[in-house]
Chains A and B, each alone.
Chain A
Amino acid sequence: MGMKLAGIMFILMLAMTGLGYWYYNNTQDKMAVLVENAAKLEVAMQTQKQAIESYKADIQQVTAEKSAVEAEFTTSRNAVEDLTNKFNKVSNLLGARDIGKTGAAKPNVIARIITKGSNNMMRCFEILSGDPLTEKEKNAEKKSQINSMCPDVANPSYIPTP
């Protein structure tokens, strides 16, 4: 009887040990999966954080580029306006500027001025197409030395006075 009881107890102990062993390993495996998932989530979170930072930087750059282009647009628009104003300039001393009347009075002088203006404008297109600046253009600092059609393009050393 005692032997039988001892045998049953032994089988029970074996079963309990096996169950414990299985339970321990099962929970360890589950924990491993959870740890792995947590690591994946951490990676995903960091990647997303990085992506958000990258988007923020992109937005800043887009805003800066837009402002820069708008400023350059304004400069180019002002050049057209300046030319239009040159033709329609009204001076307190001399009255309204009229290129027709001035041309009729001084045809040679005006021909020389507008020839120079036209050639300056052609030079502006050459520079815009990628032709390098000459030393004379680079070093021009005085108003009398500059290409009046596009000083912003042709004469980097020239600082216009307001």
Chain B
Amino acid sequence: MYSAPLERVPLNLPSTDKLTLSSSKWILVTPDNAEKVWADLEKKKYDIVIFGLTDKGYEDLSVNVAKLKKLVQQQQSVIAAYKRYYEDQTKAIDESNQKTDSIKEDAVKNNKAEEEKKSFFSLKGLFK
């Protein structure tokens, strides 16, 4: 019985796009500095508006972003582990196939040698 090992087609995926993020500047507005903040905005030709968060809102936003980073890191860890496992598996399968082929070749050689030895001593061999 003969079996042909299946070759795994390598999955060559493109890399994800690299992020280039813009930096942002936080402004804290208090009753004491509110006038100065408005004046600064006006001076720098920005629209006179502030998109605000309370201190609790800021804390929540920070923790949420940290959680997103955690998710990205965890997913990267999982992908890296799959990649390592997949690559090592492919290598192990190749090695295993090579060993099996070598075992089969040895067995065929041994069989041939046995056949030759047997035909030398057999009566049939005398007439061959």
Interface residues of A (CB under 8 A from B): 21, 24-25, 28, 31-32, 35-36, 39-40, 42-43, 46-47, 50-51, 54, 57-58, 61-62, 65-66, 68-69, 72-73, 75-77, 79-80, 83-84, 87, 98-100, 103-104, 107-108, 110-111, 114-115, 117-119, 121-126, 128-131, 149-150, 153
Q: Which residues 2-24 of B have a CB within 8 angstroms of A? A: 15-24
Interface size on B, residues (CB 8 A): 56
Check A114–B26 contact: CB distance below 8 A. yes
Q: Separation in Å of the B67 CB from the closest CB of chain A?
A: 6
* Majority SS at the chain B contact face: helix
CB pair A107–B118 under 8 Å, yes or no, is: no
Question: Is the beta-carbon distance between A35 and B114 smaller than 8 angstroms?
Answer: yes
In the bound complex, how far is the Cα of B17 from the Cα of A46, in angstroms? 48
Q: Is B48 an interface residue (CB 8 A)?
A: no
Nearest Cβ in chain A — how far from B33, in angstroms? 5
Contacts of B92 in A (CB 8 A): 54, 57-58
How far is the CB of A46 from the nearest CB of chain B, in Å?
A: 5
Nearest residue (CB) in B for A129 is B19
The answer for the CA separation of A28 and B124 in the assembled complex, in Å, is 10
Nearest chain B residue, comparing its CB with the CB of A47: B100
Main secondary structure of the interface of A (DSSP, over half): helix
Are A79 and B58 in touch, CB under 8 angstroms? no
Q: Mark B72-104, 1 if CB is under 8 A from A, else 0.
A: 111011100100110011001000100110011
Q: How far is the CA of A87 from the CA of B84 in the complex (A)?
A: 38
Contacting pair B24 A119 (CB below 8 A):
yes
Chain B residues with a Cβ under 8 A of chain A: 15-30, 32-33, 54-56, 58-59, 62-63, 65-67, 69-70, 72-74, 76-78, 81, 84-85, 88-89, 92, 96, 99-100, 103-104, 107, 110-111, 114-115, 118, 122-124
The residues of A that contact B62 with a CB separation of less than 8 Å are 83, 87, 117, 121
| Complex-state Cα separation, A153 to B54, whole angstroms | 30
Set A46, A47, A80: member contacting B66, Cβ < 8 A: A80
A-B interface pairs (CB < 8 A), number: 148
A103 to B59, CA, bound (A): 12
State A128–B21 Cα separation when bound (angstroms): 12
Q: Are B85 and A28 in touch, CB under 8 angstroms?
A: no
Query: Known: A54-B92, A76-B69, A107-B30. Is A99-B55 also a contact (CB below 8 A)?
Result: yes
Q: Could you tell me the distance in whole angstroms from the C-beta of A117 to the nearest C-beta in chain B?
A: 7
Whether the Cβ atoms of A46 and B103 lie closer than 8 Å is yes
Residue contact A79 to B96, C-beta cutoff 8 Å: no
Contact, CB under 8 Å: A121 / B107: no
| B19 with A111: CB separation less than 8 A | no
